Amino acid sequence: EVQLVESGGGLAQPGGSLRLSCVASGFSFNNYPLHWVRQAPGKGLEYVSGVSPSGAATYYAKSVKGRFSISKDNSKNTLFLQMGSLRVEDMAVYYCVREADAFDVWGQGTMVTVS
């Protein structure tokens, strides 16, 4: 079964840091671009960041550029999102997402609270 499982969410203070992880299973991890998409409570989806299959190319939304860093460990089938200088507006459920023509596989999400 193709699966993405996020972890690492929790409570952080404004200005603080958190590191999210996403463990993939059921597919060739290093063959697909992977992304983080977030959803604030009661709001829509917002693209956060993405990484190419090799990890060489990364993409960031303007709202997080310079504060967040995406990376992946192909040997451990794990995607990371290092979040720093957290703001109240970063509070959201963070989804790990596989890209194959579209965002075709989503994790269950991990909640990040900034307060």
Partner 1 sequence: QAGLTQPPSVSKGLRQTATLTCSGNIYNVGDEGVAWLQQHQGHPPKVLSYRNNNRPSGISERLSASRSGNTASLTIIGLQPEDEADYYCSAWDSSLGAWVFGGGTKLTVL
Kindly list the residues in this chain that would bind partner 1 in the complex (CB under 8 A). 35, 37, 44-47, 50, 59-61, 95, 101-104, 106-109
| Closer Cβ to partner 1, 42 or 75, answer by number | 42
Residue 74 in contact with residue 89, Cβ under 8 Å?
no
CB nearer to partner 1: pick between 17 and 65: 65
Contact call for residues 19 and 35 (beta carbons, < 8 A):
no
Beta carbon of residue 102, minimum distance to partner 1 (angstroms, whole number): 3
Question: Least CB distance from residue 3 to partner 1, whole Å?
Answer: 12
Cβ burial of 47 (10 Å; 0-12, 13-18, 19+) is middle
Kindly state the smallest distance separating residue 75's Cβ from partner 1, in Å. 26
Q: Please report how close the Cβ of residue 30 comes to partner 1 at its closest, in angstroms.
A: 20
**Cβ distance to partner 1 smaller for residue 93 or 114:** 93
DSSP 13-64: -TT--EEEEEEEESS-GGGS-EEEEEE-TTS-EEEEEEE-TTS--EEE-TTT
